Amino acid sequence: MKPLRTILTATLLLGALAVALAVHAGDAKSGKDTYPLTTCVVSGEKLGGDMGAPVIYIYKDPKIKNDPGREVRFCCPNCLKDFKKDPAKYLKKIDDAAAAAAKK
């Protein structure tokens, strides 16, 4: 059962990476910001609001060799600490928002 879970986890991570790379490619081609959220993925606070400029973090999955990383934006450094406790939970929120934006 453990090998199956490993395969499923790897498949989900690769899918998430593909979405992130597609979003990043859109940034480079269009010159506009395609980050799918306007709020902090952890707190829900508006990015660039009362907390000042967003904290930008490049998450690199330690399970993926040569991972180019994914941009994640937070309202403050404290949210980054919370993100690091359970990255998959928050990356899923970003992926869901990117998928919803792609459907529009």
Tell me which DSSP letter residue 45 carries.
Answer: P
**Residues 42-58: tens digit of each pLDDT:** 999 999 878 789 999 99
Q: Is the pTM of this model over 0.85?
A: no
> What pLDDT shows up at residue 49?
79
Least confident of 4-8, 9-13, 75-79: 9-13
The residue range of the domain holding 57 is 2-103
**Residues 71-98: tens digit of each pLDDT:** 999 999 999 999 999 999 999 999 999 9
Radius of gyration (C-alpha) of the chain in whole angstroms: 14
Domain total in the chain? 1
Quick one: CA dihedral 85, 89, 91, 94, positive or negative?
negative
